């Protein structure tokens, strides 16, 4: 078990103990509303690692939500340009 320390730009902090980085991120991603959070942990070899993690991570459902939002935005843009072309 490793301890992972997460934080965001607002100063919110959370510490969690999990087996892997992915499991730790999935455990805390609901607590943060940002799309990028910082994490600090110690590796098996004893090296300290500090990096940024993009969330949400995991689950195809979450990824499909992002894709659907992008498709809806593209569709709305296409409709707007079509209406502008028809009215001109």
32: phi > 0 → left, psi -120 to 50 → alpha, else beta; which? beta
pLDDT of 49 strictly over 60: yes
Residue 33: its pLDDT value, please?
86
CA distance 16 to 44: 17
Residues 26 and 57 sit within 8 Å (Cβ to Cβ): yes
Dihedrals phi, psi of 18, to nearest 5 degrees? -140, 175
Structure tokens belonging to residue 49:
């690692």
50-59 residue pLDDT tens: 999 998 887 6
Predicted TM-score (pTM) of the model is: 0.65
Residues 2 and 16 sit within 8 Å (Cβ to Cβ): no
What residues does each domain of the chain span? 1-57, 58-88
pLDDT of 40 strictly over 60: yes
């Amino acid at each position: 078990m490793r301890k992972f320390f997460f934080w965001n730009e607002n100063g919110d902090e959370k510490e969690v103990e999990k087996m892997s980085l992915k499991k730790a991120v999935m455990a805390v991603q609901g607590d943060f509303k940002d799309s990028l959070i910082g994490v600090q942990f110690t590796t098996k070899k004893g090296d300290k690692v500090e990096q940024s993690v993009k969330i949400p991570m995991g689950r195809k459902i979450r990824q499909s939500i992002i894709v659907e939002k992008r498709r809806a935005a593209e569709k709305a843009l296409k409709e707007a340009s079509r209406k502008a072309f028809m009215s001109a």
